[in-house]
Amino acid sequence: MERVIKTFTGYGKVKINKPATHIVLTIEEFEKLNNEIRDTENEIIKAQEISKNKVEEIKKLTDKIILDEKENARKIIEAFQNDFNNAKNEIDRLNNLNSNLIRICKERANSKRKLIPKKTHSGYLILETKEHNNIFRWNDTKLVTESLPCWKTTIQSPYDCSIPYEVIERNIYTDLVNFIGANLGLKYVYFDASKLKKKELIEEWNNSDNFIFKTSYKANNKSGFWEIEYLTKLSVNMPKEMIKNLNNI
């Protein structure tokens, strides 16, 4: 390999004040350089191929992991759905069983009290309704009381005392919403009217609608049935099917 200067007549040796413009290689040096370039290019191609294969391998592995995770998620969701459906079916079965037991209890209670028709009678009897004064108390800054006239009505339910309160309370409220309230001439229920402010309560009292503002329950061991005591603003209706002389039972 030799550094030279290109001139009009060809290539000459490098002079002291002039830098080389070309490098002249021997055939052996040229072939050696070409071989090195070719080897380098082959190594680059080989490295690119290895890199491409690695990328494809990683992609395949990633795709497999994603597919496996999707499959695991599908199995988990499917298992959860099956558990949910089984639980729902069991709840439906228990609800149906509970409904049937409640229906049978109600029919037996109606039969015991000679209420007809046994299968369709609501099973609710008005035992007593009377005038009452209820004292409301407010204690915001100082104690304030207000005595308001109302009515106290005791109703015998068709539910045996052996049935837990948590069960009969839900069923009685359902019956109240479905038909008892309308039969008694009631428009709505306040679960706790004492939480109303005095002005709000007086406004409700001056309203023409009748409503329940307090409910309490009693298991009457003598009769064997649950009883409900309602405090209402006005007297309740007395439907014929809800009046019964209990002394003749």
**Residue that finishes a domain, picked among 57, 85, 113:** 85
**Pair 161, 81 in one domain:** no
**Pair 224, 157 in one domain:** yes
Distance CA 234, CA 124 (A): 20
Distance CA 22, CA 3 (A): 6
Is 98 contained in some domain?
no
pLDDT at residue 96, as a whole number: 62
- Average the pLDDT over each of 95-99, 143-147, 194-198, 217-221 and give the range with the smallest value: 95-99
Find the distance separating the first CA and the last CA of the chain, reported in whole Å: 132
Is 70 contained in some domain?
yes
Block residue for tokens 């298991």: 219
Compute how many other C-beta atoms are within 10 angstroms of the C-beta atom of residue 165. Answer: 13
Is 104 contained in some domain?
no
Beta bridge partners of 12: 5
Is 103 contained in some domain?
no
Give tens-digit pLDDT for 7-29: 666 766 766 677 776 777 778 88
**Pair 75, 143 in one domain:** no
Q: How confident is the model at residue 94 (pLDDT cuts 50, 70, 90)?
A: low
**Residue that finishes a domain, picked among 53, 85, 117:** 85
Please state the rounded mean pLDDT for residues 39-67. 89
**Residue that finishes a domain, picked among 85, 103, 133:** 85
Please state the rounded mean pLDDT for residues 105-123. 86
pLDDT at residue 249, as a whole number: 45
Q: How confident is the model at residue 118 (pLDDT cuts 50, 70, 90)?
A: confident
Say whether pLDDT at 242 is over 80. Answer: yes
Total of domains in the chain: 2
Distance CA 174, CA 192 (A): 18
**Pair 176, 229 in one domain:** yes
225 or 196: which leads in pLDDT: 225
CB 71 within 8 A of CB 63: no
Please state the rounded mean pLDDT for residues 113-134. 89
- Average the pLDDT over each of 65-69, 99-103, 213-217 and give the range with the smallest value: 99-103
Single-letter code of the amino acid located at 171:
N
pTM of the model: 0.59
Say whether pLDDT at 45 is over 60. Answer: yes
Give tens-digit pLDDT for 66-89: 888 888 888 888 888 887 777 677
**Pair 173, 81 in one domain:** no
pLDDT at residue 158, as a whole number: 92
pLDDT at residue 81, as a whole number: 84
For residue 49, give its domain range: 1-85
pLDDT at residue 156, as a whole number: 94
**Pair 132, 211 in one domain:** yes
Single-letter code of the amino acid located at 12:
G
**Pair 130, 237 in one domain:** yes
Give tens-digit pLDDT for 152-188: 999 999 998 888 888 888 888 888 888 888 889 998 8
Compute how many other C-beta atoms are within 10 angstroms of the C-beta atom of residue 110. Answer: 19
Say whether pLDDT at 248 is over 60. Answer: no
**Pair 164, 232 in one domain:** yes
**Pair 74, 136 in one domain:** no
Is 205 contained in some domain?
yes
Say whether pLDDT at 110 is over 80. Answer: yes
